[in-house]
Amino acid sequence: MTASLTLVVLMAVMYGTGIYVMLERSLTRLLIGFLLVGNATNILIFLMSGPSGSAPIVTGTAADENMVDPVPQVLMLTAIVINFGVVAFILALVYRSWWLAQLGDEGDTLTDEHAGETEASTEAAFAAVDEDDLAIQQVLDASNEHGDTDSDSGPIEDDPEAREKERR
Amino acid sequence: MTLILALFAAVSVASPLLTRWLSTRVFYVIALLPAAVFGITLAQTPTIASGGVIEEKIEWIPQLGIALTSRIDALGWLLALVVTGVGALVLVYCARYFDADEPGLGRFAGLLLAFAGTMYGLVTSDDIIVMFMYWEITSILSYLLIGHYTGRKESRGAALQALLVTTFGGLVMLVGVVMISSFAGTTSIASIVSEAPQGAGPTVAILLILVGALSKSAIVPFHFWLPAAMAAPTPVSAYLHAAAMVKAGIYLVARLAPGYADIPGWQALLVGLGVWTMIVGAWRSLRQYDLKLVLAYGTVSQLGFLMVITGFGSRDAALAAAALLLAHALYKATLFLVVGIIDHQAGTRDWRKLSGLWRSTPSLFVITAIAVASMAGIPPLLGFVAKEAVFGAFVEAAIEGDFWGWVALVGTAVGSVLTVAYSARFLWGAFGNRKKIVPTELHTDGWGIQFAPAFLALATVVLGIAVPLLDPLLALYADTVPGEGHYHLALWHGLEPALFISAAVLVLGGLLFWRRRGVARLQEKVPPLVDASRGYWAATQGVDRLSAKITIFAQRGGLSQYLSTILVVFVLALGLTATLGRTWPSGIRWFDSPAQLVVAVVMGIAAIAAALAKQRMTAVLLAGVTGFGMVGLFALHGAPDLALTQALVETITVVVFVLVLRRLPVKIAQHNKPEQRTRRLIIGVLVGLVMGTIGLIALGARQAPSIAAELPRLAYEEGHGRNIVNVMLVDIRAWDTMGELSVLVVVATGIASLLFVSGRAKALPRLSGSRNQRRADNRRNVIDDPQTTEHPESVHRQSWLLGGLKVSSENRSVLLEVLVRLLFHPAIVVSVFLLFVGHNSPGGGFAGGLLAGLALVFRYLAGGRYELGEAAPIDPGKVLGVGVLLAVGTAIGSLFFGGEILQSAYLEADVPVLGHLSIGTSSIFDVGVYLVVIGLTLDILRSLGAEVDRQQEDTDLEAGTDDDFTPAEVRP
């Protein structure tokens, strides 16, 4: 299959510029990059339909012989509309985050939200699971016989249920 | 049998609802189902006894050879009886065990019944993949049931432990299952066993499957989850963790033993780990204060015992295994239920607090004594018969000089001594007198709760005596294991070695119990060799911390950082592959037409300019230029549908962009200081280069002829349309379009819910008394509406649009108003035209819907949100809903006429203006597409247009300014 170099170069240029814009620290710029990359991707699919020809509409005449491949067109038609929906959705997200958080001039800036995370700060996230594991371990340990107690009777201080109640 | 499983599923789902009406009595109702299945299985006994099997097969995924095959043979029959019988009894027990105000009772009832059904499916399924699915479902149900007390930490911890351990085993097992079914060339378990593939591959596969079985049956080193699982309500412990789920591993080993017991590693693994488990479990059981934990560790020990005998692999061992499996299910379920009763009535399970129960509840004492005696192996109970058979099988093997025979014999004998000791400890602990403690008071609430354990204890006695009747049935399974064997289950075999071993075990066990204080002191001195639960803890914590470390390492920074990482990986991975590419296009043309070159140059310049533009609005418009450039490319290329759609979409996109950008502070656009420009440039250029290369390689890689050759015929003859693109969208690839429609509905709903904080259903504001206002003589009247700022000057002006009266005069454009007034209705007509001719000419639902949407956009731009409310006085949700309904309705409609899903039917007619039309169901589908697109546009306009306006006006009113382009003061 032959390639139209113009289209390939155009696609590369649009990907390059799209990515360049996308990496900026501004949500709206990111979205502009998204538009460019979206169009570039459509060109990539478009490339696959080969050289130009007549529209994929059956006429019953000789023109049908020269028809272009309709399959990429169908894929792109879907992609175009979905692209539109997603762009509108991201716009709504941008607006909402700006408006509800009352961010003012900073609303559009993407922050390094995980920059301050350390291993210590993630420990808290595991605390709940660790506590659960510890609790079951304590219940099991509590039932384990201690050699010094009189197994016929004996005082019961370490009692899982009493501790359970305390915890509540 | 599939019907039975469907019933289980249905009743389980209905259980929470039934519980609301019936309270705890719901358990009696749902117990009828497993009881009925028990009856059915019992009625199948003659078929089984004559050596037959009951089979049923429903194709499921024939491409993979997976079928819902059920096959009940002797082993399946035995397990099905245990699972349904104990299941029904435990459910009956639940009715008395729980109080009516128990939280989550309905959920519990549903889950427990679902578990019974799943277990039945597991033991009757013949398809190994389906069996594996049941296997995993039991893990999940076990997780939910152990975690029944959601508020307790130990409950959650135990549930998670059980889930992680059993699904870890399950995952390993899945690999083995896939391997063995591929080696054997079938997914039927019966065939996999009867025509066992040989060699290293199948051996590895089976060993992997055994890992799953070991984890499920709580064998060392996976045993620790089972004692922890005692945090579950007692009926769960009795059913899942004694009688049913933990037996799944034993069942699987028993299932595979006839074909694979002789593979290397099998005996060493199962006998070695089994003996170890039996001794470790019993050893720890001897140290417990909590009666339930005595049983839990005892169960671990007994599962080890079962694993040794089941995995031993001789005919006599298999017979003993079947008997022991049954005996264990009966006595262990009984004992758990007894502990539940004691816990329920005395308020504690700690035997140090219990005293004199044998006197206060003698019937329970008798039931327990029977079960304990069976566990210890005292004649004439089933447990004794089974243990005799086990020793008999091992003695036989040991005499022949089999090394593993000796290991099994000595190991299980030692384990049995400990078993006798902890059995005695349990009975004495639960019912004995404590000198220093006053006899425990019991809150008895009737005898009903003792029914289930009494029934099970009775079965232990009856089956022990009637064991000659059971023998031929269990022997049917044992005979499938290769090798000689003539053993019969019986109470009396004469003075054989096994009998002396049994007697010695009882005596030594009794001695251990008698000298229990010495034993306890000894136990104190022996350090635990391996503490698997600490190992589990270390492992899970290690994984958690490792994942945290990796996340902190890889995800330091914000979105642009992540994008960079992804893109760099993309460039490295695909770039590297691309340089190795060997497929290049057969030829390179400079361009298809000179016009293409011109358009491409304009687009390229616009793209670069968009990247460099300082102003955001400029960048949006320049990005729009590339979009409109696409229109040109499509038009030149013979893609009229694409050109039409792209033009409409691009227009709406730019408008929507502007709608939102006008609202954000202007300053944002200005102080956009470029950061890390070099880095971004490098990544951008590299991605562009890689994508270009990939494009070329992809073009070269395309060697097979396109499927396009067939499409014109398909579209015209099958799809009744000349426009191939449209026919593909609504007919040939309609599934894909259905998916797209759902994405659009989700997007529309998402946008609306992001903007309308208080609820989406709110209709757009309409002018009060709008019907009146439409009359010409009323046009100049002031409209009172407290929702907006008033603009008195607008009163004196004639408006071309109704809503225009609400727009301040400096924001109005008479030209726009006139144009919209003139063009709106024609545009709607054209959109409908596009919709209907789309099948034969460029157009269709997408283009039509977008055009109608664009018409609405301009209505809004010219007249503001009141105008939009007047133009489309309908909730977009309803438009979307009707659209989806039409599309889905067409899709499944054909099913009712015996067609396939999305199959089209046609009615042809000649219509004036529109020409020869072939109205088919696919046209109705296209109407659905049309409505969904309109609904999406309407939702976007309503949210990003009208609602943004409203919020701005709110802010302006507060801030005392009414300049649309001044950013709102940030409220504190």
**C-alpha dihedral (B841, B846, B848, B852), degrees to nearest 10:** -170
- pLDDT category, B837, cuts 50, 70, 90? confident
Q: Which of B300, B433, B751, B951 to mutate to test the interface with A (most CBs of A within 10 A)?
A: B751
pLDDT of residue B395: 92
Q: Which of A83, A143, A153 to mutate to test the interface with B (most CBs of B within 10 A)?
A: A143
Above 60 in pLDDT, residue B787?
Answer: no
- CB contacts, 8 Å: B638 with chain A: 52-56, 67-68
Above 60 in pLDDT, residue B966?
Answer: no
Answer whether A61 touches B (CB < 8 Å): no
Residue A25 domain-assigned (yes or no): yes
Interface contact B728-A71, CB threshold 8 A: yes
Written as one letter, the residue type at B688 is G
B603, B706, B846 member nearest A10 (Cβ): B603
pLDDT of residue A52: 78
Averaged pLDDT for residues B21-48: 93
Residue B112 to residue B90: CA distance in whole angstroms: 9
- Lowest mean pLDDT segment, chosen from A53-62, B39-48, B57-66, B825-834: A53-62
**Closest alpha carbon within chain B to A147:** B521
Above 50 in pLDDT, residue B410?
Answer: yes
- CB contacts, 8 Å: A73 with chain B: 639, 641-642, 725
Q: Which of B560, B591, B655 to mutate to test the interface with A (most CBs of A within 10 A)?
A: B560
Interface contact A17-B227, CB threshold 8 A: no
Shortest distance, CA A66 to any CA of chain B (angstroms): 10
Residue B820 to residue B828: CA distance in whole angstroms: 12
Interface contact B541-A58, CB threshold 8 A: no
Residue A155 domain-assigned (yes or no): no
pLDDT of residue A163: 47
Above 90 in pLDDT, residue B735?
Answer: no
pLDDT of residue B797: 53
Interface contact A142-B289, CB threshold 8 A: yes
Shortest distance, CA B417 to any CA of chain A (angstroms): 19
To which H or E segment does residue B44 belong? none
Output B356 or B310, whichever has higher pLDDT. Answer: B310
The number of angstroms, rounded, from the C-alpha of A71 to the middle of its chain's C-alpha atoms is 29
For chain B, what percent of residues have pLDDT higher than 70? Answer: 90
Shortest distance, CA A37 to any CA of chain B (angstroms): 10
Averaged pLDDT for residues B890-899: 75
Alpha-helical segments (H) within B347-440:
357-360, 362-376, 382-399, 403-431
The number of angstroms, rounded, from the C-alpha of B573 to the middle of its chain's C-alpha atoms is 32
Written as one letter, the residue type at B604 is G
A23, A117, A144 member nearest B683 (Cβ): A23
pLDDT of residue B259: 92
User: DSSP string covering B891-928, please?
Assistant: HHHHHHTT--TT---EEEEEETTTEEEEEEHHHHHHHH
Interface contact A145-B540, CB threshold 8 A: no
**Closest alpha carbon within chain B to A56:** B724
- Domains of chain B, residue spans: 1-260, 265-514, 771-969
Alpha-helical segments (H) within B286-349:
291-312, 315-346
pLDDT of B634-662, one tens digit each? 998 888 999 999 999 999 999 988 888 88
Residue A113 domain-assigned (yes or no): no
The number of folded domains in chain A is: 1
A24, A31, A39 member nearest B626 (Cβ): A39
Interface of A with B in 128-147 (CB under 8 A): 129-140, 142-147
pLDDT of residue B784: 45
- pLDDT category, B526, cuts 50, 70, 90? confident
B157, B548, B623 member nearest A35 (Cβ): B623
Interface contact B289-A113, CB threshold 8 A: no
Above 70 in pLDDT, residue B967?
Answer: no
Residue A45 domain-assigned (yes or no): yes
For chain B, what percent of residues have pLDDT higher than 90? Answer: 48
pLDDT of B552-595, one tens digit each? 887 777 788 888 889 999 999 998 888 886 777 777 888 888 88
pLDDT of residue A157: 41
- CB burial string B710-735: b at 16+ within 10 A, e below: ebbeebbeebbbbbbbbbbbbbbbbe
Q: Residue B770 CB: number of other CB atoms within 10 A? A: 15
Of B207, B200, B212, the closest CA to residue B265 belongs to B207
Cα angle B401, B405, B410 (rounded to 5 degrees) comes to 115
B544, B642, B751 member nearest A126 (Cβ): B544
Domain boundaries, position A11: 5-55+67-107
Q: Which of A11, A151, A158 to mutate to test the interface with B (most CBs of B within 10 A)?
A: A151
Q: Which residues pair with B210 in a beta bridge?
A: none
Residue B727 to residue B844: CA distance in whole angstroms: 9
Question: If you count them, how many residues does chain A have?
Answer: 168
Interface contact A115-B557, CB threshold 8 A: yes
Of B402, B388, B394, the closest CA to residue B489 belongs to B388
pLDDT of residue B148: 92
Shortest distance, CA A162 to any CA of chain B (angstroms): 11
Shortest distance, CA A127 to any CA of chain B (angstroms): 10
The tens-digit pLDDT sequence of chain A (168 residues) is: 677 889 999 999 999 999 999 888 788 888 889 999 999 999 999 888 877 778 888 877 777 778 888 888 999 998 999 999 999 998 888 888 777 666 666 656 666 666 677 777 777 777 877 888 888 888 888 888 765 444 444 444 444 444 455 444
Alpha-helical segments (H) within B672-803:
677-701, 711-713, 724-727, 734-755, 770-773
Contacts of B590 (CB under 8 A, 6+ apart): A4, A5, A6, B597
pLDDT of residue B637: 87
Above 80 in pLDDT, residue B260?
Answer: yes
- Lowest mean pLDDT segment, chosen from B527-541, B731-745, B815-829: B527-541
pLDDT of residue B775: 56
A71, A103, A112 member nearest B561 (Cβ): A112
pLDDT of residue A113: 67
Shortest distance, CA A111 to any CA of chain B (angstroms): 6
Above 50 in pLDDT, residue B45?
Answer: yes
Interface contact A125-B548, CB threshold 8 A: yes
Averaged pLDDT for residues B304-312: 94
pLDDT of residue B445: 72
Answer whether A166 touches B (CB < 8 Å): no
Q: Residue B782 CB: number of other CB atoms within 10 A? A: 11
pLDDT of residue A69: 86
Q: Which of A26, A45, A47, A74 to mutate to test the interface with B (most CBs of B within 10 A)?
A: A74
Residue A132 domain-assigned (yes or no): no
- CB contacts, 8 Å: B933 with chain A: 81
Q: Residue B484 CB: number of other CB atoms within 10 A? A: 8
Interface contact A133-B540, CB threshold 8 A: yes
Shortest distance, CA A160 to any CA of chain B (angstroms): 9
- pLDDT category, B806, cuts 50, 70, 90? low
Residue B267 to residue B406: CA distance in whole angstroms: 12
**Closest alpha carbon within chain A to B933:** A81
Above 70 in pLDDT, residue B948?
Answer: yes
**C-alpha dihedral (B38, B41, B45, B46), degrees to nearest 10:** 130
Above 70 in pLDDT, residue B341?
Answer: yes
**What is the number of CB-based contacts under 8 A between chain A and chain B?**
440
Output B288 or B768, whichever has higher pLDDT. Answer: B288
- pLDDT category, B183, cuts 50, 70, 90? very high
Interface contact B227-A140, CB threshold 8 A: yes
Residue B63 to residue B46: CA distance in whole angstroms: 36
B567, B671, B723 member nearest A19 (Cβ): B567
Do residues A16 and B688 touch, judged by C-beta distance below 8 A?
Answer: yes
Contacts of A62 (CB under 8 A, 6+ apart): none
Contacts of B573 (CB under 8 A, 6+ apart): none
Residue B407 to residue B309: CA distance in whole angstroms: 12
pLDDT of residue B911: 67
pLDDT of residue B131: 95
Shortest distance, CA B899 to any CA of chain A (angstroms): 25
Output B496 or A109, whichever has higher pLDDT. Answer: B496
Kindly state the tokens that stand for B538: 């270390």
Question: If you count them, how many residues does chain B have?
Answer: 972
pLDDT of residue B874: 84
- Lowest mean pLDDT segment, chosen from A12-16, B37-41, B548-552, B968-972: B968-972
Written as one letter, the residue type at B799 is S
pLDDT of residue B26: 92
Do residues B71 and B186 touch, judged by C-beta distance below 8 A?
Answer: no
Residue B812 to residue B794: CA distance in whole angstroms: 10
**Closest alpha carbon within chain B to A44:** B695
pLDDT of residue B567: 93
The CATH number for A44's domain is 1.10.287.3510
pLDDT of residue B368: 94
ipTM score assigned to the predicted complex: 0.78
Residue B15 to residue A158: CA distance in whole angstroms: 39
- pLDDT category, B780, cuts 50, 70, 90? very low
pLDDT of residue B906: 72
Interface of A with B in 92-111 (CB under 8 A): 92-96, 98-100, 102-105, 107-111
pLDDT of residue B811: 67
User: DSSP string covering B486-550, please?
Assistant: -----S---S-HHHHHHHHHHHHHHHHHHTHHHHHHHHHHS--S--HHHHHHHHHHHHHHHHHHH
Averaged pLDDT for residues B751-774: 65
Interface contact A152-B434, CB threshold 8 A: yes
Largest CA distance in chain B: 120
- CB contacts, 8 Å: A135 with chain B: 152-154, 157
Average pLDDT, chain B: 86
Question: Kind of pairing, strands B587-589 and A2-4?
Answer: parallel
- pLDDT category, B671, cuts 50, 70, 90? very low
Output A154 or B213, whichever has higher pLDDT. Answer: B213
- pLDDT category, B970, cuts 50, 70, 90? very low
